[in-house]
Homo-oligomer: A and B are copies of this chain.
Amino acid sequence: MDIQKYLQEKKRIMDSALDRYFPDPPEGEGEERFSGSLRKAIRHSLLNGGKRIRPILSIAAFEAVGGTGGRILPFACGLEMIHTYSLIHDDLPAMDNDDFRRGKPTCHKLFGEAIGILAGDGLLTEAFRLMTNRSSRDGLSTDPELILDIVHEIAQAAGISGMVGGQVADIESEGKEVDLPLLQYIHTHKTGALILASVRVGAKLGGASEEALRALTRYAERIGLAFQIADDILNVEGQATALGKRTGTDVSRGKATYPSLLGLQESKRRAAELVELAVAALEPYGPEVNPLRNIARFVIARES
């Protein structure tokens, strides 16, 4: 299969779904004019050329276990909205203080810090609104108990025992001596938890068997960590033009990373090994998991 084409096609589906959910704010009339800048700020950050890795993983897992149709879209959008809110807040002056992302000014640089905070808050809240919205289920019957379970898993992955907890540990360890257990905690929580949830939620909604869910969970744990190691490596040797943001920032901030702890070569070896372990977890399955296999390899081959 052509993985680039696959990723492009799914990205197009996601971009268009997100665009429908956050349309251009109407000018002039109606109460919505009072929050026009918020809606613009959200669109700026949400429709900004992201790779859509998390929702694509979700769709790929959904389809791998036999799921069909658009039932996955509200959850795929919700995952991307939660990811985007976390980027907006991470970029704030009190956090990583980044001016550029994907080659464009960050949300708070363009709209001010207050709107940056509120755009993140709004995206996080709207993600839960979308995922629990009856009409976004589109007449398709999905067991409401399963939806509650899925929303709960996403909240857990994004919350203080997941992504937010990882971000706290990351912020607090800047400039300090960091050992491998702490680095692993940061990575598995800050990035890994939401990637894991993306795969598992797609699989659950697609009707995965217990056994398939276990295999996909192992797959997701491994690519989650590989993805973050690859990110660390790109921060060292990536091209700022391809990334659309500054590189070398981890070193200048005294952030612990895989390259700083283990060296570049060993980090690359580990990332490659994790990708092979991820693919190995899918061994019992056929061509229906080819997208997942190829996404795993893409994770460490990407340039941005």
Contacts and interface: CB of A to CB of B under 8 A. Distances in A.
Interface string A164-196: 110111011000000000100110000000000
Contacts of A169: 34-35
A140 to B, nearest CB: 14
28 contacts: A31-B185, A34-B182, A35-B165, A35-B168, A35-B169, A38-B168, A39-B160, A42-B160, A85-B121, A89-B121, A92-B117, A94-B112, A95-B117, A117-B117, A118-B171, A120-B121, A121-B164, A122-B159, A128-B155, A129-B155, A129-B159, A132-B148, A133-B152, A134-B149, A143-B144, A144-B144, A144-B147, A147-B148
B121 A124 contact: yes
Nearest to A112: B94
Interface of A is mostly: helix
On chain A, which size bracket covers the interface?
35 or more
A247 B168 CA distance: 33
Contacts of A38: 160, 164-165, 168
Contacts of A168: 34-35, 37-38, 115, 118
Contacts of A128: 128, 151, 155
A171 to B, nearest CB: 5
Interface string A108-131: 000011111110111011101100
A294 interface: no
Interface in A69-125: 85, 89, 92, 94-95, 112-118, 120-122, 124-125
Interface string A24-56: 000000010011011100100000000000000
A290 interface: no
Contacts of A171: 114-115, 118
A125 B95 contact: no
A2 interface: no
